[in-house]
Amino acid sequence: LHECNDCSELIINIATLKDRGTVYFKEKQYDKAIELYNEGLKLEVSSSYQYLRDIYKDAYNELILNLHLNLALSYLKMDDFDLAIEQCNLALILDPVSVKGWYRRGEARLGGGEVTLALEDYKKVIEFQPDNKAALNKIQFCEAANTT
């Protein structure tokens, strides 16, 4: 195993970019938020610390997952449904039971007019979180839209 003196610093840098992006998101400056979230992911990708995932696995994976989920939500706010779906897909690779990943992908698919695919995503949310009222409402909406 390699020494990892800079690993915690890398995680802190990525987390700082995520947090700064979230500030912009809350101010509805989605383009700036997207820029910072992507910068965090670029740090992750350009990192030569492949063993980082092993040492800090849970915290690291959660951080990267949240960057993808935050990007998805930012793209949703900008009505860029294709990029939102792409980010949700990446999030779901990291965490196949991510309720936010399934729900946001459903939102992006619905926004893009893919009602049947959105319905499948909302049903996945219910599979993992049976009492999710937002997903239950979206299921009703999609089922009604499919019958018209």
**Long-range contacts for 99-107 (Cβ within 8 Å, ≥24 apart)?**
99/125, 99/128, 99/129, 99/132, 100/69, 101/65, 101/68, 101/69, 101/72, 102/128, 103/132, 103/134, 103/135, 104/69, 104/72, 104/73, 104/76, 105/72, 106/135, 106/138, 107/76, 107/138
- Angle in degrees, 0-180, between the axes of helices 7-26 and 30-46, rounded to the nearest 10: 170
Residues found in the chain: 148
Give the H/E segment covering residue 43.
helix 30-46
Is the pLDDT at 6 greater than 80, yes or no? no
Task: Please tell me the predicted confidence (pLDDT) of residue 56.
Answer: 67
Q: What does the pLDDT look like over 124-138, one tens digit per residue?
A: 999 999 999 999 999
Task: Please tell me the predicted confidence (pLDDT) of residue 53.
Answer: 61
Region 45-58: mean pLDDT is 63
3-state secondary structure string across 53-107: HHHCHHHHHHHHHHHHHHHHHHHHHCCCHHHHHHHHHHHHHHCCCCHHHHHHHHH
Share above pLDDT 90 across residues of the chain, in percent, rounded to a whole number? 76
Task: Please tell me the predicted confidence (pLDDT) of residue 3.
Answer: 46
Region 60-69: mean pLDDT is 93
Is the pLDDT at 122 greater than 90, yes or no? yes
Q: Identify residue 33 by its one-letter amino acid code.
A: A
> 145: which 2 tokens?
């839209």
Is the pLDDT at 45 greater than 70, yes or no? no
